[in-house]
Amino acid sequence: MAIETVPFDPAEHLGSAEGQAELLADAFASGNPSYIANALGIVARARGMTAVAKEAGVTREALYKALRPDGDPRLSTLLGVTKALGVKITAEPAS
């Protein structure tokens, strides 16, 4: 008998700002571009992609494209999205 599965969308289970910030912090700490783009996409979907896209100054379609795991958002898009999500990117010396 085949196992029946259902699609899982983490955005549906990431409602708190603290959880969203923790996901983004982990993604940025990893340095993995695919993980970072995917995490930003998950948080944007959790908050409402249309509203985030509007505040970031891009179309919803462009935002979906930029924030998929294989996306490569422009710096201006990245900065707009982080501003729309209410998070900031900081730098510190690497150890």
Q: Rounding to the nearest 10 degrees, give the CA dihedral for residues 26, 76, 64, 13.
A: 30
pLDDT tens, 4-45? 999 999 999 998 999 999 999 999 999 898 899 999 999 999
**Domain range annotation of the chain:** 16-85
Cα three-residue angle 48-89-20, rounded to 5 degrees: 40
Say how far apart CA 50 and CA 12 lie, in whole Å: 16
- The answer, yes or no, to whether residue 95 has pLDDT greater than 80, is no
pLDDT tens, 43-83? 999 999 999 999 999 999 999 999 888 888 889 999 999 99
Say how far apart CA 47 and CA 56 lie, in whole Å: 13
Per-residue model confidence (pLDDT) at position 93 = 85
Yes or no: domain 16-85 corresponds to CATH 1.10.3470: no
